[in-house]
């Protein structure tokens, strides 16, 4: 796979691994490794279900990050909110997912803005409906989904990083969970379950298991339309990787159409309900102002909103900064000829920076840019000052956003 270029001398084996067309076999072999880290651990005195040391470290980061954020939620509440804990984790989009799970796309009785529910893909509501058999409280159910899914994200992201450079998984997972908008790994939103499927799909593709990758990506597509961006990345990666088309041949290629099936099925469902295949997109335009504008006009609109709406000033400026990071990330992938990453990220840049009248949820979408966190983790493992500089900026913003979001202020 061709996704990460470690900034080291050309003689470094990781640099060779990351060049375009490098075979999956160039990744570190799953042999026994020292207890300091690695993608696998074959020690006979450890049960397989305990995972590798890097897996366990990733889960410890996940656990203690949750402990820390819950403590911060408690500390942030006085004089700002008296809302119950679950209510603070399930505002806005969470209510919409729960409404679909409970009542379908007609919404709750008397819901006047029910047409907006078409903007939300059915994967997460369907999961909530099945989980409701065991967990009667809808808010608790959606928070539990994010809790479990974020644990999967931690392990999968660590393994993906380790597959590029042994010993980097911990750094990458830390970079992710301390990112400015990591609060959405805590809340009842769709980012955690999407990533819990998308990152394993990318890892499976890296290992040449394209059929399994396509299945994971298909489930991810049922949760967010971002699954189509994932599909684009997988298709390009299949074409350029030695363990893709050159190694597997065209017989594997049809599997890569699978992630498009849930999106097409949902569009068909909307057609039967509304006569509009793109009802989800039109709902986004009608209720959230997501319609095409020139990119420079989108920037100007967002900046003007930051001046005119003092309550959301910080949020809009965070959105602008996130947009700049995305633009720079896309350029970096293009310059580095990381074609799979580029195919995944470039459509997101178009959707977020040119298909909305102002920047909305760009910060939250930054959680989906795992090439960013891989780059920070892999570079930071070698150059600790880079990682410390990142934490000095990202971690305080993350803490502030946790406090703001869980006390009723919008972020991301």
Q: Report whether 139 contacts 188 (CB < 8 A).
A: yes
Considering the domain boundaries, does residue 47 fall inside one?
Answer: no
Considering the domain boundaries, does residue 341 fall inside one?
Answer: yes
Q: Report whether 274 contacts 118 (CB < 8 A).
A: yes
Considering the domain boundaries, does residue 84 fall inside one?
Answer: yes
Considering the domain boundaries, does residue 46 fall inside one?
Answer: no
What range does the domain containing 376 cover? Answer: 17-24+54-405
The region that residue 192 occupies, defined by phi over 0 for left and psi between -120 and 50 for alpha, beta otherwise, is alpha
Q: Report whether 170 contacts 37 (CB < 8 A).
A: yes
The C-alpha atoms of residue 173 and residue 313 are separated, in whole angstroms, by 30
Considering the domain boundaries, does residue 2 fall inside one?
Answer: no
Please give the helix or strand (H or E) that residue 33 lies within, else none. Answer: none
Q: What is the pLDDT along the chain (412 residues), one digit of tens a residue?
A: 434 443 333 333 333 334 333 333 334 433 333 333 344 444 445 555 567 899 999 999 999 999 999 999 999 999 999 999 999 999 999 999 999 999 999 999 989 999 999 999 999 999 999 999 999 999 999 999 999 999 999 999 999 999 999 999 999 999 999 999 999 999 999 999 999 999 999 999 999 999 999 999 999 999 999 999 999 999 999 999 999 898 888 999 999 999 999 999 999 999 999 999 999 999 999 999 899 999 999 999 999 999 999 889 999 999 999 999 999 999 999 999 999 999 999 999 999 999 999 999 999 999 999 999 999 999 999 999 999 999 999 999 999 999 999 999 988 7
Full DSSP string of 159-178? HHHHHHSTT-HHHHHHHHHT
Please give the helix or strand (H or E) that residue 230 lies within, else none. Answer: helix 227-240
Per-residue tokens: 354: 């040119």
Considering the domain boundaries, does residue 102 fall inside one?
Answer: yes
For the chain, the domain total comes to 1
Per-residue tokens: 372: 């960013």
Considering the domain boundaries, does residue 41 fall inside one?
Answer: no
108, 118, 276, 332 from 273: Cα distances, Å: 17, 10, 8, 43
Considering the domain boundaries, does residue 11 fall inside one?
Answer: no
């Amino acid at each position: 796979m061709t996704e990460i270029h470690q900034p080291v001398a050309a003689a470094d084996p990781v640099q060779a691994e990351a060049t375009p067309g490098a075979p999956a076999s160039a990744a570190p072999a799953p042999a026994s490794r020292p207890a300091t880290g690695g993608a696998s651990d074959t020690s006979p005195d450890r049960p397989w279900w305990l995972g590798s040391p890097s897996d366990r470290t990733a889960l410890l980061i996940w656990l203690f990050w949750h402990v820390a954020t819950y403590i911060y939620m408690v500390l942030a509440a006085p004089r700002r909110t008296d809302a119950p804990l679950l209510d603070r984790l399930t505002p806005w989009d969470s209510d919409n997912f729960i409404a679909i799970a409970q009542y379908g796309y007609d919404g709750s009785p008397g819901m006047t803005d029910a047409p907006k529910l078409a903007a939300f893909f059915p994967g997460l509501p369907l999961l909530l409906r099945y989980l409701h058999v065991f967990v009667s409280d809808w808010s608790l159910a959606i928070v539990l989904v994010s809790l479990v899914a974020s644990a999967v994200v931690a392990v999968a992201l660590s393994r993906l990083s380790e597959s590029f450079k042994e010993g980097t998984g911990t750094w990458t997972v830390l970079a992710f969970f301390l990112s400015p908008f990591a609060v959405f790994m805590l809340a009842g939103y769709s980012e955690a379950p999407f990533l819990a499927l998308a990152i394993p799909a990318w890892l499976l593709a890296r290992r040449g298991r394209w059929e399994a990758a396509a299945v994971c990506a298909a489930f991810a597509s049922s949760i967010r339309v971002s699954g189509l961006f994932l599909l684009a990345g997988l298709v390009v990666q299949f074409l350029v990787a030695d363990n893709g088309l050159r190694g597997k041949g065209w017989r594997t290629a049809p599997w890569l159409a699978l992630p498009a099936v849930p999106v097409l099925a949902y569009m068909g469902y909307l057609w039967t309900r509304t006569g509009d295949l793109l009802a989800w997109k039109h709902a986004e335009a009608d209720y959230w102002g997501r319609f095409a504008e020139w990119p420079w006009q989108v920037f100007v609109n967002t900046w003007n909103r930051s001046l005119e709406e003092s309550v959301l000033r910080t949020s809009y400026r965070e959105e602008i900064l996130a947009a700049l990071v995305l633009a720079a990330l896309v350029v970096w992938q293009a310059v580095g000829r990381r074609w799979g990453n580029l195919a995944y990220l470039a459509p997101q840049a178009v959707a977020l920076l040119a298909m909305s009248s102002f920047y909305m949820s760009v910060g939250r979408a930054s959680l989906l840019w795992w090439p960013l966190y891989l780059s920070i983790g892999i570079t930071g493992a070698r150059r600790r000052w880079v990682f410390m500089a990142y934490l000095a900026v990202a971690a305080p913003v993350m803490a502030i956003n946790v406090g703001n979001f869980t006390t009723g202020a919008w972020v991301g």
